[in-house]
Structure 1
Amino acid sequence: MGKVTGFIEYERETSAERSPIERLNDWSEYQQPMPEHKLQTQGARCMDCGTPFCHTGMQLGHETIGCPLYNLIPEWNDLAYKGRWREALDRLLQTNNFPEFTGRVCPAPCEGSCTVAINDPAVAIKSIERAIIDKGFDEGWIVPSPPSVRTGKKVAVVGSGPAGLASADELNKAGHSVTVYERSDRIGGLLMYGIPNMKLDKEIVERRVKLLEQEGVQFVTNTEIGKDISAKELREKYDAVILCTGAQKHRDLTIEGRRSAGIHFAMDYLTKNTKSLLDSNLEDGQYISAEGKDVIVIGGGDTGADCVATALRQKCKSVVQFGKHPQLPAERAAGNPWPEYPHTFTLDYAYSEAAARFGRDPREYSILTKKFVKDDAGNVKELHTVQVEKVKNENGQLVTREIPGTEKIWPAQLVLVAIGFSGPEEEVIQAFDVEQDGRSCIHTPENRYTTTIDGVFAAGDVRRGQSLIVWAIQEGRGAAQECNHYLTKQTVSA
């Protein structure tokens, strides 16, 4: 695969980024395409390792090892190196319904499990993946391909995130008539409203939705199950239902002053901004503005970083992001061995932008928010924190301890809570009366997608909990396969 000595001869390169200061003036994607010759060089770094781990797709504890979609990465790396882009596209689409999404927003566990990464920087798998699919669209190789025969079976998919869209795509290809129900006004779930435009341009999402429509998938927006249409109606109207409603029950901070005005969940902030951007280019004012404000983001993950980048574009006065963990090491820690995803220090796009604007990385580590303080009008004006450390208690367990004398007061007129999700919202689950597990997710047998109700399936975060986009697509594909088997058995027995 690739050039036998390529990983020795060539250095890793990834997609170039627009200047941080320049891109703060717009909402366009911050990454730029790589020239074709550079992509071929990166494909040459794939080292013919014999036993590739990049596409193993395993869950080991809380870690993802390799690509859950089992993408045939060494094969399309080799085809890209040889300039055989059309074949590379065919190979990529065998396992991944939406490489244009994963090539932009997946954290790339495949690269963490790349054999080259044992001693050197990993092959630039994600950049190559994005280039293959973008070239496919640019060259006109990707065209609608509706099924030649319809089975007469009808399936409803509830939720239009990556799991729902993958289920719909696979079942439609199998010849079933698929309708996707979405409670929002646009299709895409978190792809549309949870990820800001500078990471994933919404024209990319809409392009895929249009392609699915041309292939026969029907989309129904502004429709909430249990309010606009009942679960009973869906089960009577369709031969099967797949629930892909995600896991968007917000984790909250139950501390003093939480109800002060100006404190918002991160996803509400991102959603309103993107909706206003798409509806009116932000002219309608129907969003939460950071302009001229001291902004604090509580939560150290990717969603928090997206809030930082959004606040910068809204021309905030300052922005700080709190994380409860220490700063990550520059190299893998002993407890984070290959082929696990490397938890190492990186400068995400948002932090590069903050450093360019304010001269410093906005992240603060090992910090705990103790309380919010509001002004006489009820608006948040400051928050109080303390530094923390991990220590072992008398039982040898790691616990968090506050460090005396590290208390601090931070000015803040806008606070964004980005500490993740505790599980799925339960209205739809309860409407279908499917069994839940201890985390409130939909219960299914191990490695299966069948719920406790005949003909009702579940996939994505609503089944497995908050996870990566590649897991969502893999789950959507798996649920579709299981649903197709269920429908085919019905046809045969009839």
Structure 2
Amino acid sequence: MGNPKAFLTIHRQEAGYRPVHERIDDYSEVEQTLNSSDRRTQASRCMDCGVPFCHWACPLGNKQPEWQDLLYRGKWRDAYRVLEQTCDFPEFTGRICPALCEKSCVLKLSCDEPVTIRENEAAIVEVAFREGFIRPVQPVRNGKRVAVIGSGPAGLAAANQLNRRGYEVTVFEKYELPGGLLRFGIPNFKLGKNIIDRRIRLMEQEGVVFKVNTLVGSEVSAKEIAATFDAVCVAIGAEVPRDLPIEGRNLKGVHFALELLAQQNRLLEGIAIPPKSVINCKGKKVLVIGGGDTGSDCVGTANRHGATSVTQIEIMPQPPVGHNPETPWPMYPQVLKTSSSHEEGCTRRWNLASVRFIGDKNILKGVEVEEVEWLPAKDGGRPEMRKTGRTEVIEADQVFLAMGFVHPEQEGLIKELSLAVDGRKNIAVAPTTNQVAGTNIFACGDAVSGASLVVRAMASGRQAAKAIDNYLRDN
């Protein structure tokens, strides 16, 4: 390393967020950036550890010490060349990844000041775009064609890798624009959609074909896909949200989280929404059920709508601040996370289970909740929940359910494709590997693993592309 002792004298410096009073009235990205000099100084803090736990923890296997050193030396182009070897879209992960690498950084484990790996990654790729280091490549075609169904992070990574290997790739997307969860799930204030558009344009210039508003099995039949392409990659994600089937569930005002988030992103894209279907939180008392990132995104969106109040509740206990002895490294640290959305205004509560939705004339008025306790399991397994009988009613005009997603429902599509390929009706549809039962059908991302992180979906897409390449080289 150029400065092996920098970590002793230079503290972690984050770019931080735009002021609340400035960002609360728009949907632009809330995160700021450091200047190039400060960014290089932050990169100098990397110690080039003998065992780089950051590299080990990253699902993509990013070579953080290598590109940190190059960044510190001002070799931005070389830093990007190392970064792109393992990460197809650092402009995405550099903005929205929870940075598993930073949770494993030796400076995190020793003094709670990890290297700003995620922010450095975003800085490198933005310089690469700005300075023209990223240019379209024109791969030599091998004459084989691959269909990718779904254009989320897994599908895009698979398509990018296959295209670079010389395959003619067509990506089928059922919605209006490509991007999947990146486009219609993550708010613009975390990931500006111009960032997605920029990458899609690049992929199109390199030969990838995107067909939007195209639902495989409807607009395009499985038989047509099977007859046209040499292999198929299923990357349809895990879209079915976990419901809360309690009394009053059908009251007007109770929505899934993605109903709000996807609709808001569509409105910002200029996509028309029927007036009767518009969800607007202005002047409303909003309750978000679920304490994770999706719930936080609902909080930020409701605040931007002008909600009167926003409350977020979680059935689990409040995690500790800073360090949790119950989740030591290498476990993911379960600690209190305060997002930019929480800073903008939100009442947060824990240990609350929802009992029933309360309404008047079919319109939501509140939610009855009950306090619960969590008791350690005798066998050391998952804690046991105990109801306390202490109930209350939280007033609410709108409720957003942000409780995660159920197991992906890719079985029907894969069976349909399998039947079209070789007539088999019975086929394994929950593969532990990317290939489905020896056919030319492959799956990746949340369609295989269930709902997970964008970075894991991208890693899975890369693995699927490699498996498809190996298969087609042998057939």
Classify the TM-score, shorter chain.
over 0.9
Structure 2 Cα separation of the partners of residues 223 and 449 of structure 1: 23
* 8 Å contact kept, 1:113–1:340: no
Which of 120, 126, 135 is the equivalent residue of 1:134? Answer: 126
Which residue of 1 is the match for residue 400 of structure 2?
A: 416
* 8 Å contact kept, 2:254–2:400: yes
Which of 370, 374, 392 is the equivalent residue of 1:390? Answer: 374
* 8 Å contact kept, 1:15–1:31: yes
Structure 1 residues 18 and 282: CA distance shift in structure 2, 3 A = farther
Task: Report the secondary structure of 1:69's partner residue.
Answer: coil
Which residue of 1 is the match for residue 424 of structure 2?
A: none
Structure 1 residues 129 and 225: CA distance shift in structure 2, 3 A = same
1:3 CA displacement: 2.1
Residue 123 (str. 1) matches residue 115 (str. 2) = yes
Structure 2 Cα separation of the partners of residues 392 and 443 of structure 1: 33
1:284 CA displacement: 6.9
Structure 1 Cα separation of the partners of residues 438 and 48 of structure 2: 46
| 1:208-223 equivalence runs, <5 A | 208-223=199-214
Structure 2 Cα separation of the partners of residues 247 and 179 of structure 1: 21
Structure 2 Cα separation of the partners of residues 47 and 409 of structure 1: 52
Which residue of 1 is the match for residue 5 of structure 2?
A: 5
Which residue of 1 is the match for residue 430 of structure 2?
A: 443
* 8 Å contact kept, 1:230–1:431: no
Letter in 2 for 1:483: I
Which of 192, 198, 204 is the equivalent residue of 1:201? Answer: 192
| 1:28-427 equivalence runs, <5 A | 28-56=28-56, 66-120=57-111, 121-147=113-139, 149-279=140-270, 287-354=278-345, 361-376=346-361, 378-392=362-376, 398-404=383-389, 406-426=390-410, 427=412
Task: Report the secondary structure of 1:384's partner residue.
Answer: strand
- Consecutive unaligned residues of structure 2, counting only runs of 5 or more, are 420-426
1:48 CA displacement: 2.3
Structure 1 residues 393 and 15: CA distance shift in structure 2, 3 A = closer
Structure 1 Cα separation of the partners of residues 53 and 65 of structure 2: 10
How much identity, in percent, do the aligned residues show?
42
1:228 CA displacement: 1.1
Structure 2 Cα separation of the partners of residues 215 and 336 of structure 1: 44
1:389 CA displacement: 1.1
* 8 Å contact kept, 1:2–1:48: no
Structure 1 Cα separation of the partners of residues 79 and 458 of structure 2: 20
1:5 CA displacement: 1.2
Letter in 1 for 2:401: V
1:15 CA displacement: 1.9
Task: Report the secondary structure of 1:320's partner residue.
Answer: strand
Query: Could you tell which deviates more after superposition, 451-460 or 389-398?
Result: 389-398
1:134 CA displacement: 0.6
Structure 1 Cα separation of the partners of residues 376 and 300 of structure 2: 36
Q: CA RMSD, aligned part only?
A: 1.9
Task: Report the secondary structure of 1:155's partner residue.
Answer: strand
Letter in 2 for 1:195: I
Structure 1 residues 281 and 260: CA distance shift in structure 2, 3 A = closer
* 8 Å contact kept, 1:263–1:380: yes
Structure 1 residues 318 and 489: CA distance shift in structure 2, 3 A = same
Structure 2 Cα separation of the partners of residues 381 and 253 of structure 1: 17
Task: Report the secondary structure of 1:400's partner residue.
Answer: strand
Structure 1 Cα separation of the partners of residues 3 and 331 of structure 2: 25
Structure 1 Cα separation of the partners of residues 443 and 367 of structure 2: 41
Structure 2 Cα separation of the partners of residues 281 and 244 of structure 1: 27
Aligned length: 465
How far does the alpha carbon of each residue in 1:304-351 deviate from its partner, in whole angstroms, 9 at most, with x for none? 000000000000111001111111112322221123332222321101
1:2 CA displacement: 5.2
- Consecutive unaligned residues of structure 1, counting only runs of 5 or more, are 57-65, 355-360, 435-439
